[in-house]
Amino acid sequence: MKYKGVGSFILAFAILFSPISSYAETLNPQIPIENQPVSTTTDSAIKVTMPEDYIGTIRIANGLGQIYDFDATKVFKFLPNPSGGVMLLQMDEVIFYQELENMKKALNKKGQNAATSINTKGELVAITPGVQAIEMDIEKAKQDLIMKVRHQDFTPYQPVFNYGQVPSRTTEDMKKINFILSEFSTSFNSKVAGRSENISLAAKAIDGTILMPGEEFSFNKVVGQTTLARGYKNAPVIVDGEFVEGVGGGVCQVSTTLFNSVLRAGMTVTSRRNHSLPVAYVPKGTDAAVASTLDFKFKNTLNNPIYLHAFVENSKIYFRIYGSQADDKEVNISVKKLAERKYEMTRTVNGSIQDKFISNYREPKKTN
């Protein structure tokens, strides 16, 4: 910097903008900027008494505890002006772009709903807080940082952030999940390897699912396609009234076990069909089949969120549905045979009939 007397001086810089492509081809291209007069008060002079080629580090924060220290020396450099007078500011566009990307990774936040986790002992393990998405206005940050370096202002900087949607599940919502609303289990032969693996895979896909009030669960959507590519094995399945080998055999036991647990939690079943033949793991009239064109669905009609905990243990598959004790209901289920291969299941909730499910089974195909 050049001083004239004690009380006045002129601070002037120039800034260079070089596209990435031209920067790679041209060594140190330079564009001068206008002179910037500085206040001539004694206090101001003291604040800017630094070498005219000084470049420092700017601490950047998002206001949520995350910071990024931007080392401007990686991007900018002051150079003498061959014509004399104003210093020139050189900028490397490529490195600046990389630094801006690093800032985004450090300071942006992806939105996420709050979540909880429960172990097999029924204990609440942890609550992951909900996070509102924030994204830095990268173009404004770029221009602001150029101006700060240009004026040798290396004070902390907080960029402008764009805010995403508020999480639909909050930490307070998750704290309401503290009670077992229902539990149901069914047994299977663990020696049938393919079927056992299919049951475990489907249960794992559902375990940890959280439904807010009014949300609907789709078995097929959550579990996905039961294909060999996704790890499912061949095992007996029911097709057109007979047992045949097919990929994903055993998955219907998972949907049936979940169906019975949902019934006992007092929620509303929106889509359910029985198998074409009775199954051995539940009484007639209480099964729920699934297939590529057949789904099991239910809606959380309770006042608070629920958590589905599925696990396999000692040749049994379990479903526990957690929620708020305020939603606990008295549920009774009865099954009546209406005719040969026709059954009616009735569910009462808090003493009133909630719904009835009719199951019609086919006569097994005769084998030669």
Evaluate whether 347 touches 355 at the Cβ level (below 8 Å): yes
Distance CA 131, CA 109 (A): 8
Name the helix (H) or strand (E) containing 311.
Answer: strand 306-313
> CB-based contacts of 190: which residues, under 8 Å, 6+ apart?
196, 315
Domain boundaries, the chain: 2-163, 176-360
Q: How confident is the model at residue 44 (pLDDT cuts 50, 70, 90)?
A: very low
- Burial letters 325-337, b for 16+ CB under 10 A, else e: eebbeebebeeee
Which amino acid is located at 17 in the chain? F
Which amino acid is located at 282 in the chain? V
pLDDT value at residue 28: 35
Helices (runs of H) and strands (runs of E) counted in the chain:
8, 23
pLDDT digits (tens, 9 = 90+) for 331-355: 999 999 999 999 999 999 999 999 9
pLDDT at 161 over 80: yes
Please state the φ and ψ torsions of residue 325, each to the nearest 5 degrees.
-60, -25
Q: What is the chain's Cα-based Rg?
A: 33
Distance CA 18, CA 93 (A): 6
pLDDT at 9 over 70: no
pLDDT digits (tens, 9 = 90+) for 56-90: 999 999 998 999 999 999 999 998 888 877 788 89
Distance CA 1, CA 47 (A): 13
